[in-house]
Amino acid sequence: MVVAVAGIILGAFLLLGTVGSIFSLFRFEHRTAEAHGLSIKGESASQQRAAEVHEKFLEGSVQTLNLVNATLELAKEASERAASFLENKARETSDALDSEAKAFIADVSQADDRALVEGEKRSSKILSLGAKISGFEINRFVLPQDFKLTPHCLFIRGMAFHLNQQFEDAIEHWGKVALDENADSNLRSRAWYWMGYELNNLGDFTGAVQRFASALELAKGSRAYEIKRIRLESRFFAGEQPAQLIGPLEALLLDIETDKLCDSEELAVRKRKTAVTLGNLYHMQGESYRNKSEQGKMKESYEKAVQYFRMAEKEDKWARSGLAEALFRLEKTEEAIKLFRLVRIDAQAELINRVEKRTKTLARATELLCCVRVPEWNEQIPSMNSQVVEALGNVGERLTVYSQWQRRNVFKAEFKNHLEQFEKETYA
């Protein structure tokens, strides 16, 4: 009985324990389910917050990118406006320089190419305009569009280099003009002319003859006569004898005298220059006969020189100089001395009006010749001789100088020899 009761009680406890265990398990599972639910909710919330943050980040990035793009667009527009402004200013400057160069060239007489550098005013204008063109040429490299110098600006730049004795630069700029088939033909002809003139100065007489030939192909009107003359003169500089050149020059003079189409005033200038060149050639032919003591041929040559120099003596200073010396050789001393007095005034004016150091040397040498020929000026010979040497020293080593004694361009060493020989003859 007791055992039965005890069994019932034990069974009850076991049942209670089992029920408790089941309840505890149920509670555990319920809590686990709740925890899992909470975890899922937390993860979902976390993911939602992350999605919201990512969305806001993307939205902010888009806004930032839009802002950057807008800033870049503004910068691009500003850059384009600045570039457009610079281009417009550059174009205005280029046009202004081109107009100024054209006006200067057009203002100089077509009758004499060398008139471009005649006088302090014109030389200063070339140097000033050349400096402005140089400044534009430097600054154009920072522009978004390449602005090339116009042919007229290139030509003036070359003239400025010439005055500054920057020979290669001068020839390079003239060469660009000469080879530009779109440039004005008259300007191209002038560029070829100045290249020939510069090569004459540098002693490349063969090269000068070739450049003058190219200038002649493009020359119009009476300029053709002048280019033919200087081309023949360059052949004399290159070593051809007067006898080879006198005939072609006299034929040229006849063409000028019989020309009915060209401007009469320009033809008069061409005629004078050709006459002076003929006078120089006949004079040098006379000097050759004098050295050989062939008196008859000497006198005949000097008389021909006088004939041609008289054709230009009133208007051309070098014609007066040549005439004075030819008359002196013919022993017409009184008339020669009167002319030498005028020639010295011409030479002194040349010193003032020309900036080229070669030309100043020629002017000093001409003054010396006058002092030797005019008796009352003889005491000035030592001083003038020193001034000639000083002027010669200022000339670049690569340049030639026109010799009054040879009537052609010679290098400095040869000029100095002529000067020393003349000094010996003076005191002989």
Q: Which pLDDT does position 131 carry in this prediction?
A: 92
| Integer Rg of the chain from CA | 48
Q: Measuring CA to CA, how many Å separate 228 from each of 142, 223, 233, 262?
A: 44, 9, 9, 16
Q: Which pLDDT does position 30 carry in this prediction?
A: 64
The Cα 408–Cα 176 span in angstroms is 29
Helix and strand counts by DSSP (H, E) for the chain? 15, 2
Which residue do the tokens 């004005």 mark? 184
CB 300 within 8 A of CB 314: no
Q: Measuring CA to CA, how many Å separate 258 from each of 6, 111, 118, 252, 417?
A: 168, 18, 30, 10, 42
pTM for the whole structure: 0.77
Q: Which pLDDT does position 244 carry in this prediction?
A: 96
Residue 231 burial (C-beta neighbours within 10 Å; 0-12, 13-18, 19+): buried
The Cα 268–Cα 319 span in angstroms is 14
The Cα 150–Cα 157 span in angstroms is 11
For the stretch 107-161, pLDDT in tens is 887 767 888 887 778 889 999 999 999 888 777 666 556 678 899 999 999 999 9
For the stretch 326-376, pLDDT in tens is 999 999 999 999 999 999 999 999 888 877 888 999 999 999 999 999 999
Q: What stretches in the chain show pLDDT beneath 70?
A: 1-46, 50-63, 65, 67-68, 70, 73-90, 111, 140-146, 428
